């Protein structure tokens, strides 16, 4: 009876497999038949030895065989699919990145000016301290809370530069995991897709509070309050400072007061994610009003900030984590622990974006130019929102009320389209968007509003 031996060689090991007639044509790896040896031989050799055929194949067995393929990211995966589509009418409304009216990426003029300044000064590339650039940290907390906020003067805020919004959230999640073991983070349903990943990876338990009401395509305020009330005392409540992602639905100032009431009553800790300051309304102060309201009540508050959208610094990964504490001593301790957590994760943050922010905010002329550019960007999005609403309402004769589009704020609109309808938007109309029905108006031009209106009306009425 003939038997064959397959020697399978990988760069560091080779595996030998004895194969008898009964297994002919069906090598199976694993179990006792797979033997690894340290021998290294010519992978293409074939030798005959005492009734056995020994063949070596150039097949690498990876040590990573057990690692399954990860699914594409639900937001960034949309851009990949968009790039692969060759149809000219295609429209990418997936990722939340600002585009000009010509649908081109936009670098703010103030950013270019700040970068020129930095070049002229010939600044070096030495490491930053773990907590980041001091001038950035000062600028960012003042921008968030207002320069004359007493908590800053009282040194009650621990601010560390983070790797944009995501990295700052992740750092805070690590702090929660270490110093509030078992504490839950309450997140809105729905929320930005990465929130759950961040808390999962940090091993922080989370649950959802009601936020979106599909019947009104508006805020389920009663549900939100009930769920925050029902959560275990001392939970962290994650709130979007403004321009809620993905719904574009924000509480009113009166509703924010009530949310603060119940959080205070339940001894919860508010945790703000501020990714769109100045980008929602066009005003930095207006968009920070929710955070400032909580701070003015004397509450301890966590705030993650991002400059991806409002300064268009997406790839520079610049943001901050702020912890407003009730004493300067607590703030100092919190800051020391944030640094301790950051050190083994990424050592210290990148300098380029930090210098841009510090230069723009620290220079009165650049600062007012930035505010004007932000108003321009927020204004373009508002115009597109209005035009989309006008186009849909004039084309759709069904009597459906589309006014929710105008009640939303920021770069996103939740269309109310379900997964099948969103699939139709992509498959039939080449409109790329997330499967939850969210579109980024920042990726839309006035010229494309009519086309998008047709796509939404078709998907809404003709697909269930
Ligand atoms: C709600 C929210 N938080 C945080 C972020 C973080 O973005 P980045 O890490 O680019 O600052 C985003 C980006 O889309 C967001 O929408």
Q: What is the pLDDT of residue 32?
A: 36
Residue 342 confidence (pLDDT) above 50? yes
Q: What is the pLDDT of residue 58?
A: 64
Instruction: Tell me, in angstroms, the distance from the centre of ligand 1 to residue 280's CA.
Output: 14
Residue 15 confidence (pLDDT) above 60? no
Looking at the CA of residue 165, tell me the nearest atom of ligand 1.
11
Instruction: Tell me, in angstroms, the distance from the centre of ligand 1 to residue 275's CA.
Output: 5
* Residue of minimum CA distance from atom 3 in ligand 1: 275
- 309 in active site: yes
Q: What is the pLDDT of residue 14?
A: 39
Instruction: Tell me, in angstroms, the distance from the centre of ligand 1 to residue 260's CA.
Output: 23
pLDDT in tens, 349-378: 999 999 999 999 999 999 999 999 999 999
* Lowest model confidence (mean pLDDT) among 38-42, 117-121, 366-370, 427-431: 38-42
* Residue of minimum CA distance from atom 8 in ligand 1: 165
The residues spanned by each domain of the chain are: 3-57, 76-106+371-462, 109-367
* Residue of minimum CA distance from atom 11 in ligand 1: 165
Higher pLDDT, 291 or 14: 291
pLDDT in tens, 178-215: 999 999 999 999 999 999 999 999 999 999 999 999 99
Mutate to test the pocket of ligand 1, among 190, 272, 308 (most ligand atoms within 8 A of CB): 308
3-class secondary structure, 393: helix
CATH classification code of 76-106+371-462: 3.90.1150.10
Instruction: Tell me, in angstroms, the distance from the centre of ligand 1 to residue 117's CA.
Output: 28
First to last CA, the chain: 63
Closest CA to 439 of 96, 194, 190, 101: 96
> Is the CB–ligand 1 distance for residue 276 below 6 Å?
no
Six-digit token pair at 39?
Answer: 């021998």
Count of other CB atoms within 10 angstroms of residue 94: 25
Q: What is the pLDDT of residue 16?
A: 38
Count of other CB atoms within 10 angstroms of residue 223: 15
Average pLDDT (402-427) is 94
pLDDT in tens, 127-173: 999 999 999 999 999 999 999 999 999 999 999 999 999 999 999 99
Residue 39 confidence (pLDDT) above 70? no
Q: What is the pLDDT of residue 55?
A: 57
pLDDT in tens, 208-253: 999 999 999 899 999 999 999 999 999 999 999 999 999 999 999 9
* Lowest model confidence (mean pLDDT) among 33-37, 93-97, 297-301, 349-353: 33-37
* Residue of minimum CA distance from atom 6 in ligand 1: 165
Six-digit token pair at 328?
Answer: 């300067």
Mutate to test the pocket of ligand 1, among 76, 172, 192, 316 (most ligand atoms within 8 A of CB): 192
Pairing of the two strands 269-274 and 236-240: parallel
Residue 442 confidence (pLDDT) above 90? yes
Average pLDDT (26-30) is 37
Predicted confidence band at 53 (pLDDT cuts at 50, 70, 90)?
Answer: low
* Residue of minimum CA distance from atom 15 in ligand 1: 275
Among residues 113, 184, 227, 309, the one annotated as catalytic is 309
Cross-strand bridge partners of residue 412: 440
Torsion angle, CA of 106/108/111/117, rounded to 10 degrees? 110
Q: What is the pLDDT of residue 238?
A: 98
Average pLDDT (436-443) is 94
CATH of 109-367, one of 3.40.50.720, 3.40.50.2300, 3.40.30.10, 3.40.640.10: 3.40.640.10
Residue 20 confidence (pLDDT) above 80? no
- 273 in active site: yes
């Amino acid at each position: 009876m003939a038997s064959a031996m397959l020697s399978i060689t990988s760069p560091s090991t080779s595996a030998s497999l004895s194969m008898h007639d009964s297994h002919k044509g069906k090598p199976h790896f694993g179990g006792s038949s797979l033997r690894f040896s340290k021998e290294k031989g010519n992978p293409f050799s074939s030798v005959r030895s005492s009734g056995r055929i020994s063949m070596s194949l150039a097949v690498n067995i990876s040590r990573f065989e057990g690692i399954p393929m990860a699914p594409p990211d639900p937001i960034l995966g949309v851009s990949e699919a968009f790039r692969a589509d060759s149809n000219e009418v295609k429209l990418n409304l997936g990722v939340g990145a600002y585009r000009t009216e010509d649908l081109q990426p936009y670098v703010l003029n103030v950013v270019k000016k700040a970068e020129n300044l930095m070049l002229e000064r010939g600044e070096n590339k030495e490491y930053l301290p773990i907590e980041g650039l001091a001038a950035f940290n000062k600028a960012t907390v003042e921008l968030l809370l207002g320069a004359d906020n007493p908590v800053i003067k009282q040194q009650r805020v621990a601010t560390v530069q983070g790797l944009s919004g995501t990295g700052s959230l992740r750092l805070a999640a690590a702090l929660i995991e270490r110093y509030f073991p078992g504490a839950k983070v309450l997140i809105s349903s729905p929320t930005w897709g990465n929130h759950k990943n961040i808390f999962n990876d940090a091993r922080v338990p989370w649950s959802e509070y009601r936020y979106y009401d599909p019947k009104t395509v508006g805020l389920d305020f009663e549900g939100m309050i009930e769920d925050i009330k029902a959560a275990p005392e001392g939970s962290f409540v994650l709130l979007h400072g403004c321009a809620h992602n993905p719904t574009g639905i924000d509480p009113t100032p009166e509703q924010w007061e009530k949310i603060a009431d119940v959080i205070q009553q339940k001894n919860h800790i508010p945790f703000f994610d501020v990714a769109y300051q100045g980008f929602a309304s066009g005003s930095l102060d207006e968009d920070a009003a929710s955070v400032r309201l909580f701070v003015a009540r004397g509450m301890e508050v966590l705030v993650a900030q991002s400059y991806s959208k409002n300064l268009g610094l997406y790839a520079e990964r610049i943001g901050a984590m702020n912890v407003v504490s009730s004493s300067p001593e607590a703030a100092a301790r919190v800051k020391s622990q944030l640094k301790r957590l950051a050190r083994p994760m990424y050592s210290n943050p990148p300098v380029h974006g930090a210098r841009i922010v510090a230069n723009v905010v620290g220079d009165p002329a650049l600062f007012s130019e930035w505010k004007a550019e932000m108003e321009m960007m927020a204004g373009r999005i508002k115009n597109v929102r209005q035009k989309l609403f006008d186009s849909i309402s004039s084309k759709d004769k069904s009597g459906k009320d589309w006014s929710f589009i105008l009640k939303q704020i920021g770069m996103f609109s939740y269309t109310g389209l379900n997964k099948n309808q969103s699939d139709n938007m992509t498959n039939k109309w080449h409109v790329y968007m997330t499967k939850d029905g969210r579109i980024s108006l920042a990726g839309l031009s006035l010229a494309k509003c009519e086309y998008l209106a047709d796509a939404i009306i078709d998907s809404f009425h003709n697909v269930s």
